[in-house]
Structure 1
Amino acid sequence: MDEFKALEDFEQIASPAQWNIHLILKPKIKNWSTKNKNYQILSKRVELDLPPKIIEKVDFSFKIDESIISQDEAQATYNQMRQITKDFRTQAMTLYVQSAARENEILSNEIKGVVDRFPQDNDDGFDAEPGYAAFKQYHELRQKRMKLEIEQSMHFLSEQQVEGDTNNLQIQEEIIAPTVIQEHQLLKLGPKFIFNDPKTAARRRITELATLKRKLENCFFQKKVSPGRPLLQFMAELDVLLQTLHNVPVIDKYLNLNQNALFGNNINQNKSIMEVINSQLSQSQFVNTIKMKKKKNYGRLVKRLKHKFKLANVVLQKSDKSKVFHLGKLEDYQKKSEEYMAKTQAYKCLGTNDPLPILTKRTNKYLLDLRLAKWITQKQYEKLCINPSEVELAHLYYLPKAHKPGTPLRPIVSGLKHPTVKISKFLDELLRPLFDEMASKTTVNSGFELMKQLQKWSMINMRQETLFCTIDVADLYTMVPQIEGVLALKKMLDYLKLKQVAGLKIETIIRLSRFVMQNNYFSYDGQYYHQIRGGAMGSPLTLTVANCYMFFYEQQIIKQIHNSNGLYFRYIDDIFVAINWPTRHLFKQIDRWNHFDENIKLSEKIGVAADFLDLHIENQDGQLLTTIFQKSSYEPYYLPFNSIHPLHMKKNIVFTMLLRAIRYCSTFQAYLDEREKLRMALLLNKYPNKFIDLQFINILEKLNIEQLLTINNYAQYRQKVIDSPIKEKVPVDYGKTVFVHFTYCSNMRTFPGKFHVLWNKYFGESPINDIIPTLGTRNVNNLQRRLVHTRLINA
């Protein structure tokens, strides 16, 4: 009624020009209303995992005769069928949503342009201002009504998900038990997912409060002031606030046990504080007590899955590139491990004799000898020596490369407490910055860095016959010989003309590096091994050793490429070349490079298009085209929106991915395609479409893009984004900053604001009012930490 009345009022006072524009707008808005509704419903369908029947009914499957084909081979084929069906549904839905989004966007921009140009000035003797005000009111009411219609449609869609199709549900229950469906849904949430766990947050609270109290006492002591009552009152109120947010009722007995730790021993003096606590608690007992929706018992599902994996000899790991869960058979892992060890000849089996005690003694003795010979200082000796009770031997595990045929394994040696890890980390911190400086002109760390270099190079050197070549170095970490790897470090220090680094003589650095490289021991599947070739993938120093070795190997190649005005860059074991050579000549040269060093084996891909890291590069008739590259095994997986993480982390994901799309996509159409792929991936990870649209708008504002991106202005704005300097991190003044960490749970969203109110209340006028509290969060274990065990296949 209000909308109809507003239209009548507008009709009576509108100028002829205003009424004509209204008539032009009317069919456009009616069309947009339908398109917008369809688009919003489609987006919601993705979020709720309710694809339209035209897509859902596609199911590629056929029966395999298991009397002829083995069960394992048949299962592999069934898995391929499921993957084909899944890929089709995802791609079809992406295209469907993308088309709907584009229709909606074009119509929306047209309508916005007309509304923005709506006559406001007097014309032909008509007073246009009242007409404009009346139109504005009518237009707002019309939009409000359309928004309500969409919300109603969304509600019915959500109800459809809850109620479901009774027939389908009965069929599903006959085939798959509900518990199995829940377990599958849990695994689909992926390694990053964190479920709400306020009990763990409550359990950690006392320790976290005690840590904060100690930090604040130190702040007061540095000002030569006693903390006094304000600190005790602050801690008391903060404790109440946290208990309320954790939804854990306070018991007098529990308070008595912990009040000494938080408030000191003088109970009588703090009696008033305890009264404040009790009074506040009595007011907050009703908060968060009624939960209408039944929650999933994630903890029970995790326990059930772990038990099933153990019974079935199944290995659950995070995949190497796509970062989703991968299920594999224990016997497959063992077989592939044996094949890998036989191929590389990098490991010597020691049987069941644990080398840890001897290695611990040898490490400490080696460091002591260096100290006595004055090769290292006493401070360095104390930093590097190890406590026998705090060390443990490294262990080997594998990450499945699901993106490669046959799912090969990437070996990782986890040695966070290995006897040599302190030395390895110490050396890496010294040497890696030196390597980065030495190789800055021939290495990149991201696809964006390569794209900027390629963009500059292509302006002068790009031709129709320009070739792109990507080269992979096989098993670099394990194929670099240990002695030659350490000698590469010596070559680097000589190349940079250094006699010492941070007070350490070159000879000392070489001795320590050799000790680390030659003492890589680990356990695997109940056996102990010594790595006799290459470095441990997981040891900090290994990357720098491999990089230095490759740097001196590639110098001849770089010179040859640069002499032909080509482009050469490397990222660890991946090499990119752009060159104006005939294809045959390039193949011949790579074959020649393959004979430079028997330890370095190169495999190449050559063409007018190439994929390097996450960048797709194409030569289209002498023009450089770039966009985002996704491997064939790509899974549209991001941190799920329903994961218990702070909201700013989810916003950062959208920001980073859309920024990458603008940087990488050289054409407006490629950008639109990538933006809608990103939208689809976020919808699949339960991000609401309204949230996605809002973030897209906010990101363009942050990047100082003041106009709607179009085919006409995209190149200009994109170049502006590419040329924008990357903001450097502001150094932290530790003297004026105190870091506050508490475990995050779903109710902690409001905690930052309440914490700062408390802080200002007690410390705004105190001697530490110049201290800035910086809030951080601690997370409870995600699904990867709860389900994945890297020692799973070890005895």
Structure 2
Amino acid sequence: MVKESDAKLFFISEECIHNSITKKKTAIEIKKYKQLLERREQEFKIIVNQGWFKNETKTKIPKNIEWLLSLGAKFALHFASSQFPLLDCITEGEDIIQTLGEKNDQEIARTQLTHMIKKQKNKKLNTVGQTKKFLKKNSDMLILDADKGNVTVAMNKNDYKNKMQQFLNDITTYNILKQDPTSKLQTKNNNLVDKLFKGNVIDSVEKTKLSTFTATAPRIYGLPKIHKQGIPLRPITSCVNAPSQNLCQYMVNILKNLTKDSIYNIKDAISFKEKVNNAYIFDDGKLVSFDVVSLFPSIPVDYALEIIKEKWSQIEKITEMKKSDLHGNTQVPTKRQQIFQT
């Protein structure tokens, strides 16, 4: 008979041995898995440019998924995995192989073609599937474009919502409306377009383009400013399919002629570099840059209209519109932005 105390010691010893073996096996399997990942990354030439992707979450993202996300929102595959043109690739590849004179060269080319198709198919399509599963599993993660630098940013969804809510809580900038004004704004837009048409400012084709009957309210979203401490968001209001989107673009094409020849207007960063490239700064001088907070929403509407009045002699040369068409019944909003709260 075995004593109870000896039996307990035996089972404790066996459990320790079991845990030790399991721990060693787990470590070996993890090492093998990492080695396989490294081999796959080398085989597929998966290289993540750290300047193209920034992970602001606590979740570890696999390297191949980072690689795909770092390609940006404009990157897209030409086909889904089920639509991969395998037969077309083989057929067209065989046509090229047949141009080789030696049979041995043909066989080598076929082998190379097989490996090439397999690598490209697995590299892109398998990674796309893994990325979809990863993002579905981590539903608290958002993939966004950075404000500058063409960088993809992974951000926690709650952090994004909290930062966006800070903008909307600013009562000096945003005003909560009791009902959606989209329908009224659409009617007002169409009345203005009809007035321009009757005044022979626009023709029937332009009237059709500027009129809208399926408008939706503008949508606000934020772009992370990864170049600033704390990763603040830049609020962007998308006016795609907004009531006056087309009419606003029509006015932009007219008014932009006022600034295109201005000595204070810079087309882009390249133009600025060329302008200051040979500039001389004295030893006691400094070159400074000013960043205006909320530049466009901060422009007083009534002041902008006064400038247009002063420059009307230039505008009337490029449009049939009358000054009264622009300034008639103009109401300056008391708030720069408005929110419809359901």
Common topology (TM > 0.5): yes
Q: Cα offset for 1:341?
A: 3.4
Q: State percent identity of aligned pairs.
A: 20
CA distance in 2, matches of 1:338, 1:475: 16
CA distance in 1, matches of 2:135, 2:41: 33
Q: Report the equivalent of 1:489.
A: 308
- Letter aligned with residue 276 of structure 2: L
Contact 1:319 1:325 in 2 (8 A): yes
Contact 2:146 2:226 in 1 (8 A): yes
Contact 2:65 2:127 in 1 (8 A): no
**SS of structure 1 residue aligned to 2:194:** helix
Q: Cα offset for 1:348?
A: 1.6
Confirm whether residue 501 of structure 1 aligns to residue 318 of structure 2. Answer: yes
CA distance in 2, matches of 1:484, 1:309: 48
**SS of structure 2 residue aligned to 1:488:** helix
**SS of structure 1 residue aligned to 2:229:** coil
Given candidates 277, 284, 289, the residue that maps to 1:470 is: 289
Q: Report the equivalent of 2:107.
A: none
> 1:390-789 to 2 correspondence within 5 Å?
391-437=215-261, 439=262, 441-458=263-280, 462-493=281-312, 496=314, 498-510=315-327, 532-533=335-336
Q: Cα offset for 1:295?
A: 0.7
- Letter aligned with residue 360 of structure 1: Q
**SS of structure 1 residue aligned to 2:122:** coil
> 1:39-438 to 2 correspondence within 5 Å?
161=42, 180-195=62-77, 197=79, 247=89, 291-293=117-119, 295-296=122-123, 297-310=126-139, 312=140, 314-343=141-170, 345-350=172-177, 353-372=179-198, 374=199, 376-379=201-204, 380-386=206-212, 388-389=213-214, 391-437=215-261
- Letter aligned with residue 501 of structure 1: I
Contact 1:396 1:412 in 2 (8 A): yes
Q: Cα offset for 1:357?
A: 2.8
Contact 1:346 1:532 in 2 (8 A): yes
CA distance in 2, matches of 1:248, 1:422: 48
Cα distance change on mapping 1:534 and 1:327 into 2, 3 Å: same
**SS of structure 1 residue aligned to 2:183:** helix
Deviates more, 1:294-303 or 1:464-473: 294-303
C-alpha offsets along residues 750-784 of structure 1, whole Å, 9 cap, x if unaligned? Answer: xxxxxxxxxxxxxxxxxxxxxxxxxxxxxxxxxxx
- Letter aligned with residue 180 of structure 2: D
- Letter aligned with residue 183 of structure 2: P
Contact 1:199 1:246 in 2 (8 A): no
CA RMSD in angstroms comes to: 4.3
Contact 2:147 2:223 in 1 (8 A): yes
CA distance in 2, matches of 1:317, 1:160: 25
Q: Report the equivalent of 1:654.
A: none
Q: Cα offset for 1:419?
A: 1.6
CA distance in 2, matches of 1:394, 1:246: 44
- Letter aligned with residue 323 of structure 2: I
Contact 2:41 2:64 in 1 (8 A): no
Q: Cα offset for 1:158?
A: 8.4
Contact 1:319 1:399 in 2 (8 A): yes
Contact 1:198 1:246 in 2 (8 A): no
Structure 2 spans left out of the alignment, 5+ residues: 1-37, 45-58, 99-109
Contact 1:401 1:410 in 2 (8 A): yes
C-alpha offsets along residues 315-335 of structure 1, whole Å, 9 cap, x if unaligned? Answer: 321111122122223332333
TM-score by length of 1: 0.29
Q: Cα offset for 1:182?
A: 3.6
Cα distance change on mapping 1:201 and 1:465 into 2, 3 Å: farther
C-alpha offsets along residues 458-505 of structure 1, whole Å, 9 cap, x if unaligned? Answer: 2xxx433232222222211121223333333333335x4x54532222
- Letter aligned with residue 303 of structure 2: E
- Letter aligned with residue 324 of structure 1: V
- Letter aligned with residue 355 of structure 1: P
C-alpha offsets along residues 429-484 of structure 1, whole Å, 9 cap, x if unaligned? Answer: 111122212x2x122223443333334542xxx43323222222221112122333
- Letter aligned with residue 132 of structure 2: K
1 or 2, which has the higher helix percentage? 1
Structure 1 spans left out of the alignment, 5+ residues: 1-156, 164-176, 203-242, 250-279, 519-530, 536-793
Contact 1:396 1:414 in 2 (8 A): yes
Cα distance change on mapping 1:195 and 1:453 into 2, 3 Å: same
Cα distance change on mapping 1:359 and 1:298 into 2, 3 Å: farther
Q: Cα offset for 1:289?
A: 6.9
C-alpha offsets along residues 506-544 of structure 1, whole Å, 9 cap, x if unaligned? Answer: 3324459x58x86xxxxxxxxxxxx93179xxxxxxxxx
Cα distance change on mapping 1:436 and 1:198 into 2, 3 Å: same
CA distance in 2, matches of 1:360, 1:411: 24
CA distance in 1, matches of 2:41, 2:201: 71
CA distance in 1, matches of 2:252, 2:132: 39
C-alpha offsets along residues 276-308 of structure 1, whole Å, 9 cap, x if unaligned? Answer: xxxx9x979x99777343613133124224413
CA distance in 2, matches of 1:305, 1:158: 21
Cα distance change on mapping 1:300 and 1:429 into 2, 3 Å: same
Cα distance change on mapping 1:159 and 1:362 into 2, 3 Å: closer
Q: Report the equivalent of 2:22.
A: none
Q: Report the equivalent of 1:68.
A: none
Residue-pair matches, total? 269
Cα distance change on mapping 1:478 and 1:178 into 2, 3 Å: closer
Cα distance change on mapping 1:299 and 1:371 into 2, 3 Å: same
CA distance in 2, matches of 1:178, 1:447: 36
**SS of structure 2 residue aligned to 1:468:** coil
Cα distance change on mapping 1:480 and 1:456 into 2, 3 Å: same
- Letter aligned with residue 322 of structure 1: G
Q: Cα offset for 1:343?
A: 4.1
